[in-house]
Amino acid sequence: MTDYQNRTVFLNGDYMFAKDAKLSIFDRGLLFADAVYEGLGLMDGKIADFELHMQRLERSLAELEMPNPLAREAYRDVFQRLATENDIQNGFFYLQITRGTADRNYLYSTEMQPNVFAFVQPQKPVKERNTHLGVKMHAVPDLRWKRRDIKTTNLLGQVMAKKAAHDAGAFDALLVDADGRVTEAASRSFFIVKDNTIIAPPVTEEILHGITRQVIVNVAETDALETAFRWFTLDDVLAADEAFLTGSSTTVVPVIQIDEHIIGDGKPGKVALRLREEYLAMTAAS
């Protein structure tokens, strides 16, 4: 029995050991990936960017005609209790809501009762990780479904991309669509910096609306750093002065290499490191 099986989790209003948490094989999240999720960082006992994550969760549910089973503050209570009962100060919260349980049928009723579960898993504090030293990425085709703005559990494209990146010795995969545009990483948002301008893909249905991405953009604009939202290619990335990733569990991660190509001078960029420190300071003060 591994440790995570004895961790306390939340399922449909109850708290229990993970080994005792059960869902039916007729759950639509299992049968169709008919489910949405959120992942939130836990940093020194504080839930990062809670309100923004809840806004995105509510939007994802609305886009799929799913009712929201809990109020916002009820989710906060769940997260805080999970952190306390599992004695975790630094980690990652996972929350999933499925449409519910019914006989297998592509059609669904909007009256179905959702299933909701959550857990927290421990992670090293961000400042104790070495991602600030810069990471390598591996470019792969973007094979995901078209509605990437909805945070669903349909993640097989990302799983395949992550495996390819791992096999290439890379930290994450850089996704490139059929038109040659860079969209994002397999599990993070992606930025480049060119001539002191921070550049990110525009917010459309073709990318996930990353929460840490949104906060970092706000930080940059508050600091009077120039930002631009436009599509760019892999060639643009390779010619950039800097590149970096953002994500709920990793905050800001400088990118120093794409496959065999070095980005900038091969060292973490000053813009990425500045944004990382400001984000961590802001989270600590919240």
| Catalytic residue set | 151
CA 149 to chain centre: 12
Structure-block tokens of residue 128: 């104790």
For 165, the enclosing helix (H) or strand (E) is: helix 156-167
CA pair distance 218, 259, nearest whole angstrom: 30
CA pair distance 179, 5, nearest whole angstrom: 44
Closest CA to 40 of 136, 118, 127: 118
Kindly give the interhelix angle for 270-285 and 211-222, rounded to the nearest 10 degrees. 100
Contacts (Cβ under 8 Å, ≥6 apart) of 263: 237, 238, 240, 242, 243, 255, 256, 257
